[in-house]
């Protein structure tokens, strides 16, 4: 029972990271109806920026905040410079641009920082908190950060005029434009926020998986699965999906099939769920008018 609880909790911790990245995916999907395949690499690059800042002698939480700000600005810049010229193009062209971004970011990170695996500092104490031994402080901290991000995002969209404007721009761009919302900028803001959320996910997962340019490829796949499992149009679904996928992955790896096949089996389980519920567990079923 002890090991089960430990596995379950550490699954929750990695699940929290998937949940953050899934939240970023949902955010861009809300604003643009597209799934951003470059989200993981964006998070990876942000984490490298944080690593540089920490190495330059800036205290951890200062570097954390600074990284979020830089990522936010970079996200906006990418939307304005690279995506805006083709936003009216076919969907698959956009997908291909995301793939292009993915390989560029990966390659540039490898070029600047080399492909060697580096440790990344954790801001939390190395001893488990509260005198228990089930969960390390970093895992606990990662879960707390995820939940904090979720609450902040919820509050932003629910209680601020800007959040309302962003929701309006996503739901009905034409009407939003008529009431004076700058839809293009709302989209850019969505990109900025998503990139910042991704950055927090990257900084939380880096102490666990270590820092290297390919660290996010697996994480992105799980986050993608989590977002779809919860329903791509539902932020809470995405967070639930993240925790669910993290726990599922960990328990499968520990008890049933070992580390080799756990990715495969996790994906098969998720797809089985999707075949039964094609728009995710909490997604809205789209009814088309003829």
Binding site for another protein (CB under 8 A): 29, 35, 82, 85-86, 89-90, 92-93, 95-97, 99-104, 106-108, 110-111, 221, 224-225, 228, 232, 260-261, 263-264, 267-268, 270-271, 274-275, 278-280, 288, 290
Minimum distance, C-beta of residue 268 to another protein, in the bound complex (Å): 7
Number of residues that make up the chain? 290
Looking at beta carbons only, is 253 or 280 nearer to another protein? Answer: 280
Minimum distance, C-beta of residue 275 to another protein, in the bound complex (Å): 5
CA pair distance 241, 230, nearest whole angstrom: 5
Looking at beta carbons only, is 59 or 85 nearer to another protein? Answer: 85
Q: How far is CA 192 from CA 51, 64, 73, 93, 252, in A?
A: 20, 16, 6, 21, 35
Minimum distance, C-beta of residue 217 to another protein, in the bound complex (Å): 8
3-class DSSP assignment, residue 158: helix
Looking at beta carbons only, is 97 or 219 nearer to another protein? Answer: 97
Minimum distance, C-beta of residue 131 to another protein, in the bound complex (Å): 41
Beta bridge partners of 70: none
Minimum distance, C-beta of residue 105 to another protein, in the bound complex (Å): 8
Looking at beta carbons only, is 209 or 265 nearer to another protein? Answer: 265
CA pair distance 241, 205, nearest whole angstrom: 17
Minimum distance, C-beta of residue 204 to another protein, in the bound complex (Å): 23
- In sequence order, the 6+-apart residues with CB closer than 8 A to the CB of 198 are 20, 21, 24, 39, 40, 42, 43, 46, 71
Looking at beta carbons only, is 49 or 225 nearer to another protein? Answer: 225
Looking at beta carbons only, is 78 or 149 nearer to another protein? Answer: 78
């Amino acid at each position: 029972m002890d090991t089960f609880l430990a596995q379950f909790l550490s699954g929750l911790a990695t699940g929290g990271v998937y949940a953050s990245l899934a939240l970023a995916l949902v955010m861009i999907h809300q604003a643009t109806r597209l799934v951003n395949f470059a989200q993981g690499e964006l998070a990876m690059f942000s984490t490298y920026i944080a690593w540089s800042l920490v190495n330059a002698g800036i205290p951890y939480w200062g570097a954390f905040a600074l990284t979020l700000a830089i990522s936010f600005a970079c996200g906006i810049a990418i939307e304005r410079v690279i995506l805006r010229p083709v936003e009216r193009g076919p969907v698959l062209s956009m997908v291909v641009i995301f793939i292009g971004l993915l390989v560029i970011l990966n390659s540039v990170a490898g070029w600047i920082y080399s492909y060697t695996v580096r440790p990344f500092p954790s801001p939390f104490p190395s001893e488990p908190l509260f005198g228990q031994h089930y969960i390390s402080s970093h895992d606990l901290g990662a879960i707390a950060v995820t939940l904090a991000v979720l609450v902040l995002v919820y509050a932003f969209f629910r209680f601020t005029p800007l959040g309302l404007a962003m929701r309006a721009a996503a739901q009905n761009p034409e009407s939003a434009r008529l009431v004076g919302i700058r839809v293009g900028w709302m989209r850019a803001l969505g990109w900025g926020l998503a990139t910042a959320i991704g950055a927090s996910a990257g900084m939380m997962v880096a102490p666990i998986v270590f820092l290297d340019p390919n660290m996010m490829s697996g994480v992105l796949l799980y986050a993608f699965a989590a977002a779809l499992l919860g329903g791509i149009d539902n932020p809470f679904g995405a967070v639930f999906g993240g925790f669910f996928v993290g726990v599922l992955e960990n328990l499968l790896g520990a008890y049933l099939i070992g580390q080799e096949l756990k990715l495969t089996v996790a994906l098969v389980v998720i797809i089985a769920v999707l075949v039964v519920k094609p728009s995710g567990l909490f997604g809205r079923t789209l009814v088309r008018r003829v």
